[in-house]
Structure 1
Amino acid sequence: MKTICIITSYFPPETGAASNRMAHMAHGLTKQGYNVTVITPLPNYPTGKVFKPFKGQFKHTSIENNITIHRLWIYASNSKNKIKRLIAMLSYSFSLVWFFLFNKLPYKIIVQSPPLLVAFTCMLFLRKSNHKLILNVSDLWPIAGLELGTFKKNFSYKVLEKIEHYNYKKAHLVLGQSDEILSHITSIHPKKETFLYRNYPDFKPLPIQSTFNERGKIRIVYAGLLGHAQGIYKLCKELDYTNIEFHIYGMGAEQDEIKTYISKHKELPIFYHGGVSREELHVALKTYDITIIPLLNRIYGSVPSKIFEYARLGLPIIYFGGGEGETIIKKYALGWIAASGNYNDLNHVINSISLSKLDANVKSDIQKRALKHFDFEKQLKSLSKVL
């Protein structure tokens, strides 16, 4: 049987797009006939604390859905302090080195990046071994950090840039979730073998249902990480609520600010529903009219995986993030575009949407296009040919 190992910093039972896409990849490869092993930290995201069933353990190994999962020790933290975040990444890197020294790995290894330092650890310690190293790049760091304001162009940035280039150089194959990512990589290493690997979801789509709101307002929903990059707190303050309700699902750094804002502005139709499981979320999303996918700043190379997930659910999308995501929304007629960072334009777009036209047929058409063009299994079969 073909064997492959996936090294990732996020994996279920953790929630969020990163863990979901790596789980999809692992399960998809098992369907393609691979014996899959996953190496990941003890689950701790997004709380920054190791989940109760795994507390006090240095290593936990289990077999779940025919996938062998090795969960390694990490100094867990979701602190805004850069030093603590660095220590957390380094602690997982140390655990990986320990694992490499005492365990035999399959020939093919997929390494998730970011985090850059974790990917660097894998590329550095496995570079001379008899392995095919496949780098799966979901976001471009440190460029994304620069655009988000996390980094400045100083000595530290140059070091991270060198690490980034080293990772690309040592990878035998690079998977990128966007054309922008692949263009960036080939601008550095023109002869590098690459493969466009979109973050398509893999779940059975739920039947479309009509929505009805007795208050006559469009129900807009956001579901996902409540981090600074998404800017949901600012969105709460900037939206025109004349014709809408705004519903929020998720957890993250901004959740306390959002809850406080809602409590101080009870006259506004903003509803925070907390974090729920992915299955519960999919059922809840069926009851809304539109979803919004925002980014506080346009991030080069980023294509939110929510685009493909919500389209599969048949949910019309307002995209407010710029970049390649806009191209996908337009190309496949998945919803509306608002100019990135322009809240006046966003409100103009929302106010131009007619609730009467948001019927089941609109949702059904979006779902059909998603099923046709965002086919996870077809993509996996193509990937298997190049692995």
Structure 2
Amino acid sequence: MEKVLIIANEFPPMGGAGVQRTTKFVKYLPKFGYDPVVITKEHVADLTDKTLLEDLPKNLKVYRLKPYDTVNRKGIFRLPFKFLGTRILSPDSEYFWYYFNRDKIAEIIKKENINIIYTTSFPYSSHLMGLYIKRLFPNIRWITDFRDEWTNNPYHLDSWYRKIKLDLEKKKELEVTNECDFLITNTPFMLDNFIKDNPSLVGRSTYIPNGYDEEDFVGLNNARDGGDKFVITYTGSLYGRRNLTEFLDGLKIAIDNKKIDKSKLEIRVVGNIYQEVLDEYAKKYDLVNNMKSFGYLPHKESIQMLYNSDILLLVIGKGKGSKNFYTGKIFEYIRVDRPILSIVPEDGAAAQVINETNTGTVVDPEDIDGISVVLERYYKSWIEGKLVHEPNWDKIQVYSRESQAKRLSEIFKESKDI
């Protein structure tokens, strides 16, 4: 098998959504003729999910480099270093990890006889590492994978300190996209934006969506557990535009109009979310006895929470650029046999997935009345014992992680001819 160097700052035992895509690629690439060698950072105080280590090949070689962490430091310098990492460093808080480890990576490449590298972001510093290696070893084939957009990222547009750095980062982004051999994004909308900014990507770029791993569902119980409660579950993160405001505004209308009996309602939130944020929601919307927080759960336990529900809640947020991406959770949502209330831009990537798989109802975040109507309909169907869900399983299977790893392996082969 040919070796491929995977440069992924976020990797197990780190938990969270950012590690899933790379973990599954590493898991399945050997099936298609590639032997991954992983470069990541020593695990620090981030989320931990050791169960993800079970997905990795037993003989996988992983180089864990010194983290040079600025965000999770302890002691009297914690706040100054966190400010440096989140506000000052460009492109992100992992710049020092890239800068001080880049020569070590060059040594690893020689030692492992590497001819192809794959870099994935976030963080974007991983691509600076790829750029450094490509310039040092021009014959190496370099594949970049953007799990999120860089300078066109809508969350960056909302941040004053990110805006200040964007001009400098646009230059770096163009260097990366000009010099990589092949570029991958995870939605067609993101891909269009990259090509718009750099037309030379035509013919050497594509998108591979996120997905679900069928093995993650083995042994789980496909059964609700809410008893006489109508259970709505949200899993994932909440930050910036991605919040519960529109959902709760729509729910309030349905409750006030007596279309939903609040005493029969249970809202479950699973993820690394500040408890004070959820407490504030519960207090503001008079849902103190209805909202339950479960914190961050190991990956399979999080999926089991979806099975335990009556309907699932998906939120993206609104505003410029929001239509270009979807949360990675969407693919586990569509694989679980439950209707999805999708509060997402109607013309965006997430809506496209929900509609083509027939796995839920899409409502634009601006349409609060529409959110209320959909909630009323789902609740009424549940009360009557007629909550119907008829997904298109043929479309859903397109999003399997194994299929996506196969596509990545094909790109590795195709890059030889570019």
What's the TM-score, normalizing by structure 2? 0.78
Cα distance change on mapping 1:309 and 1:267 into 2, 3 Å: closer
Cα distance change on mapping 1:100 and 1:214 into 2, 3 Å: closer
What CA distance in whole angstroms lies between the structure 2 residues aligned with 1:46 and 1:229?
22
Question: Which consecutive residues of structure 2, in runs of 5 or more, have no partner in the other structure?
Answer: 51-55, 73-78, 413-418
2:182 aligned to 173, 180, 194, which one?
A: 173
Superimposed CA distance per residue, residues 97-150 of structure 1 (whole angstroms, 9 cap, x where no aligned partner): 132243225111110123223312321343241311100011111221456512
C-alpha contact 2:102 2:132 (8 A) present in aligned 1: no
The AA in structure 1 aligned to 2:59 is N
C-alpha contact 2:357 2:393 (8 A) present in aligned 1: no
Superimposed CA distance per residue, residues 341-383 of structure 1 (whole angstroms, 9 cap, x where no aligned partner): 4434322321222215776872xx4373454332332332233
Matches within 5 A, 1:308-319: 308-319=331-342
1:278 aligned to 299, 306, 325, which one?
A: 299
Match of 1:66 in 2: 59
Check if 1:28 corresponds to 2:24: no
Cα distance change on mapping 1:45 and 1:331 into 2, 3 Å: farther
Matches within 5 A, 1:80-91: 82-85=83-86, 86=89, 88-91=93-96
C-alpha contact 2:14 2:43 (8 A) present in aligned 1: yes
* Displacement of 1:238: 6.4
Q: CA RMSD in A?
A: 3.1
Superimposed CA distance per residue, residues 138-173 of structure 1 (whole angstroms, 9 cap, x where no aligned partner): 111122145651247855221111222221111100
Match of 1:375 in 2: 400
Other structure's SS at 1:88 match: coil
Other structure's SS at 1:115 match: coil
What CA distance in whole angstroms lies between the structure 2 residues aligned with 1:171 and 1:358?
54
The AA in structure 1 aligned to 2:125 is L
What CA distance in whole angstroms lies between the structure 2 residues aligned with 1:69 and 1:343?
48
* Displacement of 1:326: 0.8
Identity over aligned pairs, percent: 19
Match of 1:225 in 2: 237
Cα distance change on mapping 1:170 and 1:289 into 2, 3 Å: same
C-alpha contact 2:40 2:65 (8 A) present in aligned 1: yes
* Displacement of 1:66: 2.5
Other structure's SS at 1:142 match: coil
Match of 1:194 in 2: 205
Structure with the higher helix share, 1 or 2: 2
C-alpha contact 1:143 1:300 (8 A) present in aligned 2: no
C-alpha contact 2:143 2:184 (8 A) present in aligned 1: yes
* Displacement of 1:44: 3.6
C-alpha contact 2:65 2:101 (8 A) present in aligned 1: yes
C-alpha contact 2:12 2:23 (8 A) present in aligned 1: yes
* Displacement of 1:45: 6.2
* Displacement of 1:96: 3.1
Match of 1:58 in 2: none
Matches within 5 A, 1:45-194: 46-47=46-47, 65-74=58-67, 75-77=69-71, 82-85=83-86, 86=89, 88-104=93-109, 106-129=114-137, 130-145=139-154, 149-151=158-160, 155-192=164-201, 193-194=204-205
Superimposed CA distance per residue, residues 204-249 of structure 1 (whole angstroms, 9 cap, x where no aligned partner): 235773536443x431101112333421477557643733421001
What CA distance in whole angstroms lies between the structure 2 residues aligned with 1:359 and 1:369?
24
Cα distance change on mapping 1:301 and 1:156 into 2, 3 Å: same
Match of 1:306 in 2: 329
Superimposed CA distance per residue, residues 7-44 of structure 1 (whole angstroms, 9 cap, x where no aligned partner): 11211111222101110011111222221111112224
Cα distance change on mapping 1:271 and 1:236 into 2, 3 Å: farther
Other structure's SS at 1:283 match: helix
Superimposed CA distance per residue, residues 245-274 of structure 1 (whole angstroms, 9 cap, x where no aligned partner): 21001114x443224554785644111111
* Displacement of 1:91: 2.1
What's the TM-score, normalizing by structure 1? 0.84
Question: Which consecutive residues of structure 1, in runs of 5 or more, have no partner in the other structure?
Answer: 54-62
Check if 1:355 corresponds to 2:382: yes
* Displacement of 1:195: 2.3
Higher mean C-alpha deviation, range 365-374 or range 179-188? 365-374
Match of 2:75 in 1: none
What CA distance in whole angstroms lies between the structure 1 residues aligned with 2:376 and 2:62?
48
What CA distance in whole angstroms lies between the structure 2 residues aligned with 1:68 and 1:163?
30
* Displacement of 1:288: 0.2
Task: Give the aligned length.
Answer: 371
* Displacement of 1:6: 1.0
Cα distance change on mapping 1:286 and 1:40 into 2, 3 Å: same
Cα distance change on mapping 1:120 and 1:185 into 2, 3 Å: same
